[in-house]
Copies of this chain bind each other. A is one copy, B any other.
Amino acid sequence: MASDQTRSAILAAAERLYADRGFGDVTLRDIVAEANVNLAAVNYHFGSKDELIAELFVTRSIQTNRERLNELRAAEENGGGRASIEDIMRALVGPTLRGCLGPDREGSTAARFMIRASIESVPPIRRIKNREVDHLRKFAAAMRRAMPASSDTELYWGLHFALAMAHHTIREKERLLRLSEGKCDLDDVRGIIDRVVTVSVMALTMGDVPSKPAPRTVAMHGRLTRQDL
């Protein structure tokens, strides 16, 4: 118990190295060298390399999920028990996008680690991801409350597409930057979140919209407003 510091040194070093160089290029020996601890310490404290990775990922996942749910709850309380679909989507994609694209992304090893985890998808992480469906159900439930007229199918597709845009933006931001030759400003996180939320809401309200979806007057901070609309 006394020497929690070895444990945390390993965790910190591992997260940093994985974030910087990816899972494929980092060995236990790299980690213990970075952490200034003995090689055997990893197996002593974590059991195995995979369990170390799993602990890293679970910790960060819980953290992200908590942020998401906090935002969702805040939106629901704000709306007297029911959040708007827009706020729900914002709570879903906001924390991740802010964490991984935010201005502190250079310093935030946590965010960079999660990006790596999203890109490389090593076995222990995949195993966890597959069990991560549960907390999405909370969002599905909130969405159902916000759009009682929509079918579950539409709802899940909307949820799915929202995550698609958020994650793909994180995963492929380099490529988008190169493709657009810098024209897509990936530092404007608020603008990106607005963009993803707007499209998500449109995707959700298109199919079975009883009333007109009322041209999105979402607060658009970026250069989103333009000629069309």
* A133 and B179 contacting across the interface, CB-CB below 8 Å: yes
A137-B179, A152-B220, A208-B215 are contacts. A121–B123 as well, Cβ < 8 Å? no
Interface SS of chain A: helix, strand, loop or mixed?
A: helix
* B226 and A151 contacting across the interface, CB-CB below 8 Å: yes
B residues near A81, Cβ cutoff 8 Å:
none
Name the residue in A122, A220, A224 with the highest tally of chain B Cβ atoms < 10 Å from its Cβ: A224
Range for the number of chain A residues in contact with chain B: 35 or more
Q: Which of B62, B119, B175 sits near A229, CB closer than 8 Å? A: B62
**Partner-B contacts on A (CB < 8 A):** 24, 61-62, 65, 119-123, 129-137, 140-141, 149-154, 156-157, 159-161, 163-165, 167-169, 172, 174-176, 178-180, 183-185, 195, 198-199, 202-203, 205-209, 213-218, 220, 223-229
B residues near A132, Cβ cutoff 8 Å:
229
* B151 and A217 contacting across the interface, CB-CB below 8 Å: yes
B residues near A161, Cβ cutoff 8 Å:
165, 168, 199
Task: For A144, give the chain B residue with the smallest CB separation.
Answer: B224
